[in-house]
Amino acid sequence: MIYVPITFILFFYYYSHSQAYQSIISLSVSGNEFQPANIIELIGTFNVSLSIQCLSLCNQNPQCRTIDYESISYRCRLYEGQLSTGESRTSSSTTSIVAGIRYDDSNLYSSYNQTCDQCQQNHYLVCGTNGTCQCPNNTYWNGSICLNQIYNGSTCTTDNMCRSDMSITCSPFKQCSCGLKWNETSILVAGTGTAGSGLNQLHLPEYIYLDDNNTLYISDTFNYRIMKYLNGASAGIQIVGNGTVGSLSTQLHNPSAVYSDMYNNIYVDDTFNYRVQYFVNSSRNASTIAGGLGSGSALNKIGLSYGMFVDKYSNLYLSDEQNNRVVKWNSTAMHGVVIAGGNGAGSASNQLNGPMGIYIDGNNDLFIADANNNRIQKWLQNTSNGTTVAGGHGSGIGAEQLNFASAVKVDSQGNIYIADRSNSRVQLWTKNAVQGITILGNASQLRSPFDIILDEKTGAIYVSDRSAHKVVKFLFSTQC
Q: Sheet holding 325-329: strands in order across? A: 305-310, 316-320, 325-329, 337-341
Phi-psi region at 63: left, alpha or beta (left = phi > 0; alpha = psi -120 to 50): alpha
Angstrom CA distances, 150 to 44, 89, 108, 426, 465, stand at 20, 21, 21, 30, 36
Tell me which amino acid residue 331 is: S
- Which amino acid would we find at residue 198? G
From first to last of the 480 residues of the chain, give the pLDDT tens digit.
Answer: 233 333 333 333 443 343 344 566 777 778 999 999 999 999 999 999 999 899 889 988 889 999 999 999 999 999 999 888 899 999 999 999 999 888 888 888 999 999 999 988 788 899 999 999 999 999 999 999 999 999 999 999 999 999 999 999 999 999 999 999 999 999 999 999 999 999 999 999 999 999 999 999 999 999 999 999 999 999 999 999 999 999 999 999 999 999 999 999 999 999 999 999 999 998 999 999 999 999 999 999 999 999 999 999 999 999 999 999 999 999 889 999 999 999 999 999 999 999 999 999 999 999 999 999 999 999 999 999 999 999 999 999 999 999 999 999 999 999 999 999 999 999 999 999 999 999 999 757 899 999 999 999 999 999 999 999 999 999 999 988
Q: Answer whether 11-102 and 187-474 agree in fold.
A: no
Question: What is the C-alpha separation between 280 and 287, in angstroms, rounded?
Answer: 9
Domain ranges of the chain: 11-102, 107-177, 187-474
Q: Is the domain defined by 11-102 classed in CATH 3.50.4.10?
A: yes
Q: Buried b vs exposed e over 438-471: b needs ≥16 C-beta within 10 Å?
A: ebbbeeebbbbbbbbbbeeeebbbbbbbbebbbb
Give the CB-side neighbour count of residue 343, counting CA atoms within 13 A. 13
CA distance linking residue 49 with residue 474, whole number of Å = 55
CA end-to-end distance (rounded Å), the chain: 28
Q: DSSP letters along 4-15, please?
A: -------EEEEE
In whole angstroms, what is the distance from residue 76 CA to residue 49 CA? Answer: 9
Closest by CA position to 41, among listed 143, 169, 140, 151: 151
Query: What's domain 187-474's superfamily in CATH?
Result: TolB, C-terminal domain (2.120.10.30)
What is the spatial distance between Cα 68 and Cα 55, in angstroms, rounded to a whole number? 9
Question: Which pTM does this prediction carry?
Answer: 0.88
